[in-house]
Structure 1
Amino acid sequence: MLQRFRSLILFCVSGGLALFVDIGVLYVSRPWLGDYGGRALSFLVAATFTWLFNRYITFSGPKEGSVLKEYLSYLSSMLVGGAINYGAYVGSLQAFDAVRAQPAWGVAIGSLAGLVFNYLSAKRIMMKDAKA
């Protein structure tokens, strides 16, 4: 039971740190890619960060199989959560002047929207390859 809460807490820490990565990349890339393209890039960078954090800290332990295969599997499963995340971001960007002025609010809204799905997906992928 404690292990479940530990992994959930660490997953949330990972997500919280990734939120800052996400916002930072968005703000750096917005002048060149705009609100939407910058958000797509920032999500990819943040998802890569969470994969690394979750692989080595949240769901640590010996793993078997290809690291590249695990990374691609992680990213592909995060795409569903990412679609939820991006949809909430776009919806809030279009609906609220405050989010248009400060897109970080939209990133936070999107991140919360995708959290539950992404946690369950990441846990399934990271624990699948762990040795018993």
Structure 2
Amino acid sequence: MFSQKIMKFAMVGGLGFVVDTIVFSLAIYVLRTDLLTARVVSFILAATTTWLGNRLFTFSEREKEDKIKQWSKFFFSALISAMPNFAVFQVTIYFLGSSGLAPFIALVLGVLTGMFSNFTLSHLWVFNEKNIETKASY
């Protein structure tokens, strides 16, 4: 059961990664924003995508909390997970530079780094089972 949850989380994360990459690419190549601004915008849209996917797919059996409250919790946990994500992104850019494939290598490494804390926070806090267990006992 737990391994299925991780697989679903990874699938939703894959979709979030696609959104992240597309928005990041559009921001730097079409809108000509700087790398950090592009990364922040793509992160916000990807986090919102993964929250919705996890709400409807990964943790669909769990009690549905108010959307705004749950999105806020998810976004807060994503911000916590973004710290190592952005740090790895910046360090990778520092060592590889900011041209060619380097920004995308940095993006992948950053996303993978943040995924571990994001799953833990989502599983234990954002999509908490507490409410289901309470209702099941009645």
TM-score by length of 2: 0.86
Give the Å deviation of 1:41. 0.5
CA-CA distance at 1:64 after TM superposition: 4.3
State the Cα distance separating 1:128 from its structure 2 match: 4.0
- Give the aligned CA root-mean-square deviation in angstroms: 1.6
Larger Rg: 2
Tell me the equivalent position of 1:25: 23
Q: Indicate the percent of aligned positions where both proteins have the same amino acid.
A: 23
What is the number of residues matched between the two proteins?
129
Q: Larger relative contact order (C-alpha < 8 A, sep ≥ 6)?
A: 1
- Give, in whole Å, the separation in 2 of the partners of 1:46 and 1:26: 10
Asked whether the equivalents of residues 24 and 39 of structure 2 are also in contact (C-alpha less than 8 Å), the reply is yes
| Contact 1:14 1:50 survives alignment (8 Å) | yes
Q: Mark the CA change 1:41 to 1:121 in structure 2 (over 3 Å): closer, same or farther.
A: same
Whichever residue aligns with residue 128 of structure 2, its letter is M
TM-score, normalization by structure 1: 0.89
Q: Which runs of 4+ in 1 moved over 4 A?
A: none
Partner Cα distance (1:13, 1:64) in 2: 20
Q: Conserved in 2, the CA contact under 8 Å of 1:88 and 1:113?
A: yes
Alignment-derived partner of residue 47 in structure 2? 47
- TM-fit CA distance, 1:112: 0.8
Residue number in structure 2 paired with 1:71? 71
Does the 8 Å CA contact 2:84/2:114 hold for their aligned counterparts? yes
CA deviation vs aligned residue, 1:80-121 (integer Å, no higher than 9, x gap): 101111111111111114x63222211100011111100000
State the partner residue of 2:99. 100
The structure with more helix, counted as a fraction of residues? 1
Distance 1:21 1:128 in 2: 28
